[in-house]
Structure 1
Amino acid sequence: MPRPAAMLVRPSVVATVAVAAVVAVGLFALLTVFAGLRTAGWLGGGTFLALTAALVTRAARQAGASTLGPAGSVTALRAVLVGGVAGLVVQEIAGSRPAPTTTLVALTVAALLLDAVDGQVARRTRTVSELGARFDSELDAALLAVLSVQVAGDLGVWVLAVGGMRYAFVAAGWVLPWLRGSLPVRRSAKVVAAVQGVALVVAAADVLPRVASTVLVAVALAALVWSFGVSVVWLARHRPGAVPREGRIASFYEDEGSPRAGGDSDGERGAAGETPDDDGERGAAGPTRPGWRRALGATLTVVAVLVLGAVLVAPQDPGAVIPEVYLRLPIEGVAGLALLLLLPRRVRVPVALVAGALLGAWAVLTAFDVGFATVLARPFDPVLDRALVADGVEFVASTYGRAAEIGAIVAAVVLGVVLLGGAALAARRVVTRADVHRRVVLRALGVLGAVWLVAVVAGTTIAPGVPLAAASTAAGATVRAHITLTSLRDADAFAAQSRADAWSGVPAPDLLTALRGKDVVLAIVESYGRAALTDPGLAPTVTPVLDRADRDLPAAGWGARSGFLSSSVVGSGSWLAHATLLSGLHVDNEQRYLTLTSSTRFTLSAAFRRAGWDTVAMQPGTTRPWPEGAFYGYDRAYNVRQLGYRGPSFGWASMPDQFVLDRFDQLELDKPAPRPPMMAEIDLVSSHAPWQPLPHMIGWDQLGDGSVFDGQLPNPPEPPGSTAESQARAGYAQSIAYTMDALTSWVQRSNDPNLVVIAVGDHQPAPLVTGPGAGRDVPMSIISRDPAVLARTASWGWTDGLRPPPTAPTWPMEAFRDRFLQAFSGP
């Protein structure tokens, strides 16, 4: 016997939605564990459920219903299942992971089975309502739409007609009001609707051959066209009687102010039909504003839409910044505005302000991404890269002066405030103006959503490689979430890795035995990358210097072997590359660097110190105390103030490399005998950006305190028509040629018969110089007068001379420490 409705527990609409949200989080968590649901799936499924909740809450408010009843609770559970299906499908569309067929089918079948349950519950509990029926039918349509998107990926874009037929019918009613009339219940319509679900599930399950699935879905579509055709014919024949009966609930697609929702025909708020807009003026029914004010308001609204649209579609890759990119259709804007318009009016503007501010923050992060991609060939990591922002400010100060530093900070702060505040105000403007014409705007958003979906499935582009359908913000948020989670997990894993070191316990007598009595210089050349040897625009400047050295060094009794290392960084972050080279660990962010330098990791320089070498670091780019020197195992470290340079400043590096090498001779190598063997890291930084102005070689005996370089400034003017890119490329090539000329010339004039020089680049220059896809490889050479030293590297496969060929072996930079210690230690 049916239970009386009065005896039933009737949770409120808000309570039902809240419980469904909790269940949805649990379902999505299970899908994450067992079906690989990722951020894209969470965003897609969550957006679907948020829109569903907003639509249901709004429809209940229009109908004056405080509860969805027991059947509505079952339908809400079915909506959660459909949200899970939507999440899996969105994830596959995003390309992050294919939807697991078994899970997808299981969720769909469960949702279809519950479709039969909620109707039975409503009838048995005597709680049948038009609100529940509308909720049920619209959810059926949504499930078919989601399934059609999934199947269209395999069978073709035409399958979207199955899921889009219902929405096309509703849209047609906006133009032809008689199509919105009430239809009689037809059993055939229910059967046809069920056939659509079955056909799409079978096709999605991939249990039939492709041809059979195509035929099945085509037959189902034909039946659907016939069913809608019957409805259209019936409505056309009964046009005079198509007026909705009094008390009928408004459709989910109708505005609160529409005639069928019981409001005014102009869609304005309240009985008076007027809505104060954000300027304090009346809406469509209020006093007419002057023409210039209307034009100004319309202009501001258009500008606000363009600003928000530009933020949503702006690429994080500077190479993708082309005009066509800003013509894409962002689904985040479509779904976000629709959701805002479906919220209660009292919270709509505050939520819009918050959403706009978040978009402004996203614009700031996008700007950081573009900057980091330009310099470091990777996106900005908010967790690990915060220290690099301060380093960038310091670089500006040391290169261009204190005034430039202050100007850069002020400009950055102002831009950040403008982006956050401007985006918030733009979102408020768009929402308040859209609220005045909500019915039209919601319909337009529905059409745009359909266009976006078709464009995704069909792969529509507006330019080569530029799809019409954009989800840049959602995709970027997915990538950023992955980067952040990886960064947070990385700290502990790297700390454990830094503690595992087989070389740390090797006794001094067994270390570096093949280099006993040798002075070893590790010369690290700033930004010396493979591009300097292979890029047709750079190599003609650099390789003649190396070729000349390959002729002159053997004549003076020197030999050289060369290969490549793959650096941990690109464009900047020299200290990270140095840490990688000396520690044998991949150090590519500040967190790893701090973890490493606070550990007891055994570095290459510390190995020399343990084995009896006197260790020193020459660091002309360091302007303050360097506590990391103790970690690396250096007895002494010379910074820029301790080298006694009195010449002009050459950009960030200040002093020329030739002067640094000469000061190393005076301070260390020329000490009176007896002295212990020397191991030195010498940073050669004249090739550090911005590569202008540049010093030129002078006679070694003329260096003095460096004041001789005064006559080399300023550099000659750039040729007419040169661009920033061409100037950077030319300056970079000249700087590498200068540094390698200084280094090889210094080696040739050395009076130390036991000198061993290891010359290596720390990273490739910025993509502004190399262009995209240049890689991370840097050249490395070992130079010595002792054939026995070079013989120790025979197993490395390195080639003779200072120019390794493109086919030369390439190791990860973190592999060098272990290979070097293994080659030069032991018998």
Structure 2
Amino acid sequence: MLRKTHGTAATAPVALQIAAGAALLAAVLTVLVPTTGAGALRVTGAAVVGAVAAALLLRAARRAGERTLGPAGVVTVARGALAVAVVALVGLDGAGTVALVALVGVALVLDGVDGPVARRTGTETALGARFDMETDAFLLMVLSAHVAATTGQWWVTALGLLRYAFVAAGRVAPWLRGELPPRYSAKVVAALQGIVLVVTAAGVLPDAVALTAVGMALAALVWSFGVSVVQLWRAAERHPFHARRAGAALLTTLCLALVGGILVLPADPAALDPAGLLRLPIEAVLGAAVLALLPGRARWVAAALAGALLAALGLLKLADIGFLAFQGRRFDAVSDWSLLGNAHDFLQGTAGAAGTAVVVLAAVVAVGLVVATAAAAVRLGQLAARHRRATVGVAALLAAAWLVVGTVAEARLVPGVPVAAADGVAEVAHRAQQVPETLRERRELTESLARDGWDGAPPDALLSALRGKDVVITFVESYGRNAQNAPAMAPRIRPVLAEADARLTAAGYGARSGVLTAPINGGGSWLAHATLFSGLSIADQGAHDRLTASDRLTLPRAFRDAGWETTVITPATTREWPEAAFFGHQRVYAGDDLGYAGPPFSWSPMPDQYTLDAFSRLELDRPDRGPVLGTVVLTSSHAPWSPVPPLLDPAGIGDGAVYGPYAGGQQSYDTIFSLDRETLRGDYLTSLEYALRSATGWVADRPEGDRDLVVVMLGDHEPGATVSGPGAGSDVPVSVITRDTDVLDRIDDWGWTPGLLPPPDAPPWLMAEFRDRFLAAFS
């Protein structure tokens, strides 16, 4: 029978009583904002939680046939409003913690009021008892979240979630929903949870003592639930388990995790923080509402297509994460597909057949992700349609919250990652802009290839100021400007350069140094080489392919045409390299051509000191030769970076077998994903020190009478965000080293700094400008 209502608050309709609770919540939040620093994000979150709770309470009252909550229910509504207000304070310290403890204290006092009121007024109902219990459970969950957030001990949330886990278990094991006899110990344990969490939140106990108390409270709670389970088991005649329902619930949860995870996953590896996943994606909100309203077949098709598109966006996000981590740029959906072949070759070269297996597995996972996401979207669409009214109502509420949090508050839990997420929309917009931009860059490159100021220059006019000199261009892998200037790296590298400067000066050398901006970051060394040699910015494989199919004059080809013998030492090359002819390299010494009989050192097939010694033996020390233009690629500082051998006496290097004792503890490539940044950075710096000492020591040890050696030593790119951190840039150091002062006089107008260390504020050139400036200076 429905209860008659009167004009007092205690007997007012449920809707009015809830409205009064909402007014109380609004008043409390209004006070909290200026006094605790709870911003729009927190207030919006509390408001959304309050609105959902109100809707659930109205639904429960309607189903129970209750028109009013009664006097006790009014007290519980007030307590619930305070519990919801506490949501806005989770994780805050200072005034926020004081306010949280005060609100919880009032709520706990009211918890001792509503029960006696219901009994004295004879208004006890099943709805009231359930409402009281759910309010207690919710407050406990919010308190446990606050303690977990402020202590960093996320296991504490088990105190608040255990009851909800018990209720969920009752959905698949109906005997767990049986009536429990009153138990005084259960009431004591329940009260203990609130007291311990409040005391811990207040910070009145030492951390160790407080966490110990929380641990004991959790143990008591587990024991209490265990007793309840045993009692229910004994009281039930049968113990059915709905395995199908459990499987369906698990599958739905996995579908939500997959779709939601893709939507909230940041594309920037710097934002991969757990807090960065706490976001509200507008695509999920609007998608749920649309799928709930579409008819059957249209809903199925729309959901499948949306899921496949979402999976594609997820794969693009993963590609962006990888490219930003290792190359400092986002994945180019037009040009970068060709890099998949390079990735396969790299994995096959480092891991053999296992590398091919990894590539095949990645392809299977990609296809599986598309299929799984499409199926997940279809399942969630069916669920939304089954609960159409609730889905549309919640979607409207969350859309309003998204607008407040996104457009008004612009809230962020992690810098650069908005809580009001629209990554799917942004990704589509980015790719829509990227395609025409890439095509425009291709057209510009084609036009640049067609016009070259050095095209047709007579060979005898090229590089005339360097006639008779040996010129060596030495690339030091992963040698970026940050190694010289970043506080975490400069103390290791600057002394090495100072020591090298002193040694070179003692050997009669001078040096001038500047900075170049590479077109790539973190990888793609061949693109940097192509950029330096061609005088064009070559930032992707597509541009590289178009360059090598042209007749563009490259720096090595200019030397070759002007009479130099051109050679390249590339120890990491393990396959045919037809592009060598385009660049103008007459002789190519790959790994197998250098006579190395020692062990590899991680990725590097041989130590840099051996590479340079082999270059001397095979080229510079040859009798009856002409001037040489040599390109030498030093690989010891290519990731991974451990182990690194010591510098040895050049006279004892021989065929490299002497390096055997130093090759223990080989580091595999996958370690750069598992080691912490400090360890990686330390290994990187050790390898870079070795590379720089090898290169500069080799120059200093050339015969004293050799005034005809000119060395251009430069980095190819930064080592990537795994070492340098985000925002490292793409600048690399470059130095010209020679004993011939006339050569250095030729580049005085470049504004470069004497020595090997340009100042931190040295203005960079584009690496693509080097070819033209070099040719102009010496032709």
Return 421-430 or 470-479, whichever deviates more. 421-430
Match of 2:761 in 1: 807
Match of 2:651 in 1: 701
Specify which of 230, 248, 251 is matched with residue 300 of structure 1. Answer: 251
TM-score, normalisation: structure 2: 0.66
Point out where structure 2 has 5 or more consecutive residues left out of the alignment.
Answer: 1-39, 41-50, 60-239, 669-673
Specify which of 686, 690, 715 is matched with residue 734 of structure 1. Answer: 686
After TM superposition, give the deviation of residue 175 of structure 1 in Å. 7.3
Q: How does 1:2-41 map to 2 (within 5 A)?
A: none
Match of 1:770 in 2: 724
After TM superposition, give the deviation of residue 521 of structure 1 in Å. 0.4
- Whole-Å Cα distance in 2 between the matches of residues 787 and 758 of structure 1? 15
- Whole-Å Cα distance in 1 between the matches of residues 544 and 700 of structure 2? 36
- Contact 1:725–1:768 under 8 Å retained in 2: yes
- Whole-Å Cα distance in 1 between the matches of residues 274 and 667 of structure 2? 33
What is the total number of aligned residue pairs between the two structures?
A: 540
- Whole-Å Cα distance in 1 between the matches of residues 769 and 758 of structure 2? 18
Match of 1:784 in 2: 738
- Contact 2:519–2:528 under 8 Å retained in 1: yes
- Contact 1:542–1:734 under 8 Å retained in 2: no
- Contact 1:539–1:733 under 8 Å retained in 2: no
Task: Give aligned-pair identity as a percent.
Answer: 46
The residue type paired with residue 730 of structure 2 is R
Match of 2:702 in 1: 750
- Contact 1:763–1:777 under 8 Å retained in 2: yes
- Whole-Å Cα distance in 1 between the matches of residues 611 and 623 of structure 2? 20
Match of 2:515 in 1: 564
- Contact 1:324–1:462 under 8 Å retained in 2: no
The residue type paired with residue 441 of structure 2 is D
Return 607-616 or 419-428, whichever deviates more. 419-428
1:486 pairs with 2:486: no
Q: Deviations over 1:197-232 (max 9, x none)?
A: xxxxxxxxxxxxxxxxxxxxxxxxxxxxxxxxxxxx
1:323 pairs with 2:274: yes
Match of 2:339 in 1: 388
Give the 3 Å change call, closer, same or farther, for CA 462–603 of structure 1 in structure 2. Answer: closer
The residue type paired with residue 806 of structure 1 is P
- Whole-Å Cα distance in 1 between the matches of residues 296 and 366 of structure 2? 29
Match of 2:368 in 1: 418
Question: Deviation above 6 Å: which 4+ runs of structure 1?
Answer: none
- Whole-Å Cα distance in 1 between the matches of residues 709 and 764 of structure 2? 25
Q: Partner of 1:527: helix, strand, or coil?
A: coil
The residue type paired with residue 354 of structure 2 is A
Q: How does 1:143-222 map to 2 (within 5 A)?
A: none
- Whole-Å Cα distance in 2 between the matches of residues 634 and 513 of structure 1? 20
Q: How does 1:268-287 map to 2 (within 5 A)?
A: none
Q: Partner of 1:753: helix, strand, or coil?
A: coil
Q: Deviations over 1:758-809 (max 9, x none)?
A: 1011111111110111111111111111111111111011111111111223
- Whole-Å Cα distance in 2 between the matches of residues 301 and 451 of structure 1? 25
After TM superposition, give the deviation of residue 328 of structure 1 in Å. 1.4
Q: Deviations over 1:794-825 (max 9, x none)?
A: 10111111111112231110111111111111
1:676 pairs with 2:626: yes
1:714 pairs with 2:664: yes
- Contact 1:459–1:467 under 8 Å retained in 2: no
Q: How does 1:607-686 map to 2 (within 5 A)?
A: 607-673=558-624, 675-686=625-636
Match of 2:3 in 1: none
Match of 1:822 in 2: 776
The residue type paired with residue 457 of structure 1 is T
Q: Partner of 1:560: helix, strand, or coil?
A: strand
Give the 3 Å change call, closer, same or farther, for CA 351–789 of structure 1 in structure 2. Answer: same
Match of 1:795 in 2: 749
After TM superposition, give the deviation of residue 716 of structure 1 in Å. 9.4
After TM superposition, give the deviation of residue 537 of structure 1 in Å. 2.5
1:551 pairs with 2:502: yes
1:503 pairs with 2:457: no
The residue type paired with residue 696 of structure 1 is P
After TM superposition, give the deviation of residue 298 of structure 1 in Å. 3.2
Specify which of 353, 378, 386 is matched with residue 436 of structure 1. Answer: 386
- Whole-Å Cα distance in 1 between the matches of residues 666 and 456 of structure 2? 55
- Whole-Å Cα distance in 2 between the matches of residues 524 and 326 of structure 1? 40
After TM superposition, give the deviation of residue 460 of structure 1 in Å. 4.8
- Contact 1:313–1:473 under 8 Å retained in 2: no
- Contact 2:479–2:715 under 8 Å retained in 1: yes
- Whole-Å Cα distance in 2 between the matches of residues 742 and 349 of structure 1? 64
Q: Deviations over 1:706-757 (max 9, x none)?
A: 1111010214999xxx943222211111111111111111111112331111
Q: Partner of 2:603: helix, strand, or coil?
A: helix
- Whole-Å Cα distance in 2 between the matches of residues 807 and 683 of structure 1? 28
After TM superposition, give the deviation of residue 639 of structure 1 in Å. 1.0
RMSD of equivalent CA atoms: 2.4
Match of 2:90 in 1: none
- Whole-Å Cα distance in 2 between the matches of residues 298 and 717 of structure 1? 43
1:409 pairs with 2:409: no
The residue type paired with residue 627 of structure 1 is P
- Whole-Å Cα distance in 1 between the matches of residues 301 and 756 of structure 2? 64
TM-score, normalisation: structure 1: 0.63
- Contact 2:600–2:663 under 8 Å retained in 1: no
Q: How does 1:240-279 map to 2 (within 5 A)?
A: none
Q: Partner of 1:651: helix, strand, or coil?
A: coil
Give the 3 Å change call, closer, same or farther, for CA 475–558 of structure 1 in structure 2. Answer: same
After TM superposition, give the deviation of residue 502 of structure 1 in Å. 0.6
- Contact 1:377–1:571 under 8 Å retained in 2: yes
Match of 1:447 in 2: 397
After TM superposition, give the deviation of residue 536 of structure 1 in Å. 2.4
- Whole-Å Cα distance in 2 between the matches of residues 765 and 297 of structure 1? 47
- Contact 1:357–1:424 under 8 Å retained in 2: yes
- Whole-Å Cα distance in 1 between the matches of residues 755 and 712 of structure 2? 13
Match of 2:118 in 1: none
- Whole-Å Cα distance in 1 between the matches of residues 713 and 631 of structure 2? 10
Q: Deviations over 1:41-78 (max 9, x none)?
A: xxxxxxxxxxxxxxxxxxxxxxxxxxxxxxxxxxxxxx
- Whole-Å Cα distance in 1 between the matches of residues 492 and 360 of structure 2? 39
Q: How does 1:227-242 map to 2 (within 5 A)?
A: none
After TM superposition, give the deviation of residue 389 of structure 1 in Å. 2.2
- Contact 2:470–2:709 under 8 Å retained in 1: yes
Match of 1:252 in 2: none
1:354 pairs with 2:302: no
- Contact 1:398–1:651 under 8 Å retained in 2: no
After TM superposition, give the deviation of residue 344 of structure 1 in Å. 2.4
- Whole-Å Cα distance in 2 between the matches of residues 328 and 310 of structure 1? 10
- Whole-Å Cα distance in 1 between the matches of residues 249 and 505 of structure 2? 77
- Whole-Å Cα distance in 1 between the matches of residues 404 and 739 of structure 2? 70
The residue type paired with residue 513 of structure 1 is S
- Whole-Å Cα distance in 2 between the matches of residues 505 and 754 of structure 1? 28
Match of 1:524 in 2: 475
Q: Partner of 1:543: helix, strand, or coil?
A: helix
- Contact 2:291–2:385 under 8 Å retained in 1: no
After TM superposition, give the deviation of residue 416 of structure 1 in Å. 1.6
Specify which of 264, 267, 284 is matched with residue 333 of structure 1. Answer: 284
Q: Partner of 1:618: helix, strand, or coil?
A: strand
- Whole-Å Cα distance in 2 between the matches of residues 328 and 496 of structure 1? 45
- Contact 1:597–1:631 under 8 Å retained in 2: yes
Match of 2:408 in 1: 458
Match of 2:126 in 1: none
- Whole-Å Cα distance in 2 between the matches of residues 350 and 820 of structure 1? 60
After TM superposition, give the deviation of residue 394 of structure 1 in Å. 2.2
- Whole-Å Cα distance in 1 between the matches of residues 675 and 241 of structure 2? 49
After TM superposition, give the deviation of residue 292 of structure 1 in Å. 5.0
